[in-house]
Amino acid sequence: MTNAELQKIVETISIQSFQKPFLHKAYFNPRLRTTGGRYMLGSHDIDINRRYLDEHGMDELIGIIKHELCHYHLHLEGKGYKHGDQDFKSLLKEVGGPRFCSLLPGVNRRKRVLLYICSKCGLNFERKRKINTRKFVCGRCRGKLRLIKEVVLEKGQS
């Protein structure tokens, strides 16, 4: 599918589902990795991740387009266009768009946990990012921190 074909599909879905025209650009963006699509607030364009079409098919693509068109039309009307806004949630439900897109195979779904301990008072710290132990100290006693271990969990585990 080309960008011109995608543009035509987006314009058609906009008229059919929203009864409003889509007057900006829609195109495939090869740099998108973790999301199905993106609505650009400044330019009002819509980027789509081609991998979702390749991996999940046309139904998933149509769902992503509906989701992004909800952002588009609500933003242009001055209504709540963000994911948490009630306007967005109700319009999304009305047009049958998904709240989230499916996961792509091979996308990193792991959660990293770093465990530190204070060498002075024994307080344990759990962090997502590494801490520079030469620069940062324990918040309770100002003791030296030491990395105990790094645990990598699949999402869904705790």
- E-only strand ranges, 29-156: 37-39, 46-48, 110-118, 124-127, 145-154
Helix 58-77 and helix 3-13: axis angle, to 10°? Answer: 60
CA atoms of 71 and 90, how far apart (whole Å): 12
Q: What is the reported pLDDT for 150?
A: 87
Q: What is the reported pLDDT for 40?
A: 95
Model confidence, pTM: 0.70
Q: What is the reported pLDDT for 109?
A: 63
Q: Which residues contact 3 (CB under 8 A, 6 or more apart)?
A: 26, 27, 28
Q: What angle do CA 13, 14, 15 make, to 5 degrees?
A: 90
CB < 8 Å & 24+ apart, contacts of 92-95: 92/66, 92/67, 95/17, 95/18, 95/66, 95/69, 95/70
Q: Tokens representing 61?
A: 């693509």
Residue 150 is among the residues annotated as catalytic for this protein = no
Residue of 5, 55, 68, 77 with catalytic role: 68
What are the average pLDDT values for consecutive 10-residue runs of the chain, which has 158 residues?
95 96 95 90 95 91 95 95 94 92 72 91 92 93 93 62
Q: Which residues contact 103 (CB under 8 A, 6 or more apart)?
A: 109
- E-only strand ranges, 3-109: 26-28, 37-39, 46-48
Q: Which stretch of DSSP H or E encloses residue 4?
A: helix 3-13
